[in-house]
Structure 1
Amino acid sequence: MSRGRSLQSRNPPGLPGQRLKALREALGISGRDVQTHSRLIARSQGNQRYCISHSSLVEIENSTRVPSVHKLFTLSALYRINFVDLLLFFGIDLDQINTARLAVKLPKTHLVPSEIYDTERRVSFPARFDPGTRIEETDLLSRMVQTWGEIPIAFVQNLALRKYLYGFIGMDDYTLYPMIRPGAFIQIDDQDTKIDPDPGENEFERPIYFFQLREGYAYGWCELEGKVLSIIPHQMSGRKTRQFNYPDDIDVVGRVVAVAMSLRRKPARSSLSRPDTKRIQ
């Protein structure tokens, strides 16, 4: 994977303070000008923390001091530099947040943000499929694609006609195990919140929903009888059915439409907490 703009061009060599000084001088702004203009920004934001005194600017430009988030906001506005690119001066790449999230497996099920900060980043994309490929047969994607190209990630994002939510199944959440394992990522259609009473012909066709509780999130099969919504676990999970007053104590976030998970081995339980197997009323 490569970027439309290289990391080096967005993050040129040199200490952060020196780079900031170069930006200021390229715009013909003096240190006193920064102080004056920053007061206008602070006034517009209603917070004096956005103000940068001349002495503070001198210290920032001539040391390894990292400005506060408010002062970074002001510098981004004054120097006409994207805030994401400005953070790169200090070694902070916001596009690595998702990588950092993956490094931490939390015990409870929760929603996962899906931000894209660098919309100019380019990703590999199938440009042409092998005309001899038989889509009826299972095959490796690398064998099916004849030509790969690169397009901006923002374009891929806009290909989706509907925007989905994404959730992470907590490492202590065995609700639908072994069909869906702890540590799985799920795609949620938040436009489909009406409970479908049809259980389907088998467990794979049975609708799965993602819920928001008073404290946290949950997912699973469900049944709605009057004002009682029951979250039904897989019969092999060892978990009990949980019941809630609907809609007072539980809200349907949406229907689960896709799952990504590892099949390597039985997932280890999180050491952060113990699973709750009690029936909830």
Structure 2
Amino acid sequence: MEGIGGKLRASRLAWKLTLREVEQRTLRLAQQWGNPAYRISASWLDRVERENRGLSATKLIVLANIYSLTPDQMLGMCPTPDTTFTPSEDLSVPNATLLAEGNLDTYAKVWLPDTLVTETPAEATALLPAEQGLLPSHYRRAVIGRQDRTLEPMIRAGSIVLIDTQKRSIATRREWNHEFDRPIYFLMTRDGYVSGFCELDKESDWLTVIPHALSFESNRRFRYRKDIEVVGTVVAAVIRRTE
């Protein structure tokens, strides 16, 4: 089976790109995304292609953006395990008491309603009614709608997000290292709710909603606290895999 290096090389050649051209494109992406870690050197990529070296998720996302790879194609590059995991006897039977009784069952019903997969997601992202007793009052839940494709494929339509409404300040670039720990915000605009990454200008006059690198959405700019408000920071999510 061809290794990830060979697959990456095939993708590059399909676009008729040289190693140097890929490096130049990653440099532009690094400048656009404001993180030098996204830059990939030609010599490093050459070693990956020739030696099937491993690469981080960050580097794979950058190359996927340049080669226009879909999430399924990205996963297809990952090696397939040679062996099948067989659980031990102690883990083969679920703990029925744990799942059927106590707080875990209560939270599971809240986070994973029976209709999560069977119902078609709504068009618009919606903030759900507050629930008494389960969580502190400053936590709210929301469902991502089909029109809100800002964070696809990381958070798809129909996913449920938990929002901490006490965390409303926009983090600066120094407060996160890569997009996997970059804060996600839940926002209210004049047209409805949206979730996404955010940036504030130096004067805090304009807020830009930034989509996931693999999303087809574009940046959107709003007048801060006039055309858009921060409801809170997304602290957890139940991801829906299909629509």
TM-score (norm 1): 0.42
Greater fraction strand: 1
Greater fraction helix: 2
**Larger Cα Rg: Structure 1 or Structure 2?**
1
